[in-house]
Every structure is written in structure tokens, then in C-alpha cells.
Amino acid sequence: MSIDARTFYRNGPSHRQQEPSSFALVRRQFDFRSIEIGRWVTPTERNRAAELFHDALCDLMLILQGPETLVSLRGSLALQYGSGGRPGVAAHYDPAQRSFALAKNAGPGSIAHEWFHAFDHYIAQKCFTGLSRDIFASAAWLADAPPIVHPLNQRLMDCFTAILLQPGGKQPSELFQHSVTMDRKLGQVYYSKPEELCARAFEAFVQDAPIKNHFLVKGTKATPEAELGLYPQGSARQHINTAFQRYFSQLGLALSRSL
């Protein structure tokens, strides 16, 4: 079923006063570096996708309590819809191009996950010194890269600590252990990568927010992956959510003051 014929649960506020959206509006409002639409996307599909993207990104902005510049990572992030994807992959973030791609008829619910990959990559250079251009902040933290001392950076480190370590900050978290177990069963290293762990934890944080948008995020609770412990659970989830809320509320405030 094409995306224009599907509906996605959402309970957020109106962002357009019933006016039509467009990718031109999305780019203008958030100042994305570029937005590319695939040649096989029909006008109807493009218009429907623009509405869904617009609502999802506006909802994300409200959940993070930040301005539009946070969502576009100060205009450095590019979007691709129905273009630039990888075979068999519904959505992905490309660090080399600093672009987020969503497949034409797949990928709903993946935006929060892929956006956090983009953020994790973008913020690395602002949190640590001496990094290569392709590393994520979460991976740099786990590798004990030299930090740049700043109160906001410390709050982000608190998020990584809550996600990757047990309370007390020494042993791997249950989320990390479940992810390693799954990777061993599959003979791979994917779920246990720090950037993947943190992106899934961010998904849970976004899904637990009062604003609900299934085009933005879904699947962190009643799914096989959640039942296998690949998303945060119980008190650990609450702890991670609190850490993310503290970080993004302060980051949003700092960005708003700088506008």
C-alpha cells in the first residue's frame, strides 16, 4: 500500500491551521540543507508525505522543547524521500552525506531513530576532541575520547551513561546485554553498537512523550524487538527518559536564546 493511502495515529496539535503542506514549506521552516524527492514519487505521494513529515518534525520539535534549528541541526541536515536509499532498508542516515533517507512506501515510524543518528553524528565534534568525521558521539563516549568540558555536554554524557551502563556506572546495562545476546544469535554486530543502542533508547523517549505520532516513532513497546529487551524497559526506561528530557530541555533553551 502506498503511503498516500495509509493513515498513521497522531494526537498532536495542528501545525498548519488546515493549510496544505509541501516539502518546500518543510525546508523553509526548518532550514534543511536540501530536500530531494525521488523521480518515481507521484505528486499525490509527495503531497501526502510532506504533510506526514511536517507534522512529525513539528511534533519532534515540541517533544524536544527546542527550535526548528535543532531539528535541522543548524541547517546541516539533508532529507531524501524516495531517493538515496539502500536496497532492502526502509530508512537510514548517511554520515558521509549528512543525509536522512526514507523509502517511498516504507519506513514510517523510523524518523525518530534516524534523526537521533544524525544528531549523534552532528554533536560528536562539539562534545569531544580529536575525532574522525564519521564517528558518533555515543561511540566516542564509549571509547573514552577526550571530552570538551561544558554543562550541556555533561548532560548528554549522563544520557549515554543511563543507556549503556547499569545504575552505579560500571557494569553494562540490561539493554546492552540483551543487544549483545541478540547479535551473538544472529552472528553480527549491530544491535549492540552504541549508536544503535542510543537511537533505540531515544525512540522510546519520543514514544513515551504525551504527543503521539506513529509516523515519527512506533514499535518500542508491543513488538518482538521490545519483548526481546532491545528497547529500554521499566525503571531503566524511566531513568533514560529523564536524562533525555533534562538534556534536550536545556539544549533547546540554549538554542532559543541564541536565535
Distance, CA of 227 to CA of 235 (rounded, Å): 16
Query: Same domain for 170 and 218?
Result: yes
User: What is the residue type of 118?
Assistant: A
The four Cα atoms 251, 256, 257, 259 give a dihedral, to 10 degrees, of: 130
The domain total for the chain is 2
Q: Among residues 107, 134, 169, which one ends one of the domains?
A: 107
pLDDT at position 229 is 97
Q: Among residues 43, 74, 107, which one ends one of the domains?
A: 107
Instruction: Decide if 112 is inside a domain.
Output: no
User: Could you list the residue range(s) of the whole structural domain that residue 246 is in?
Assistant: 117-258
Q: Are 175 and 231 in contact (CB under 8 A)?
A: yes
- Name the strands in the sheet holding 99-102, side by side, starting at the edge strand that comes first in the sequence: 34-37, 78-81, 99-102, 91-94
Q: Note the pTM of the prediction, 2 decimals.
A: 0.94
pLDDT at position 90 is 73
Of the two residues 37 and 85, the one the predictor is more confident about is 37
Give the mean model confidence (pLDDT) for residues 65-83.
94
pLDDT at position 85 is 53
Query: Same domain for 160 and 253?
Result: yes
For 11-33, what is each residue's pLDDT tens digit?
988 888 767 789 999 999 999 99
Minimum mean pLDDT among 41-45, 168-172, 220-224: which range?
168-172
Query: Same domain for 125 and 192?
Result: yes
pLDDT band at residue 124 using 50, 70 and 90 as cut-offs: very high
Instruction: Decide if 4 is inside a domain.
Output: no
User: In the predicted model, is pLDDT for residue 259 greater than 80?
Assistant: no
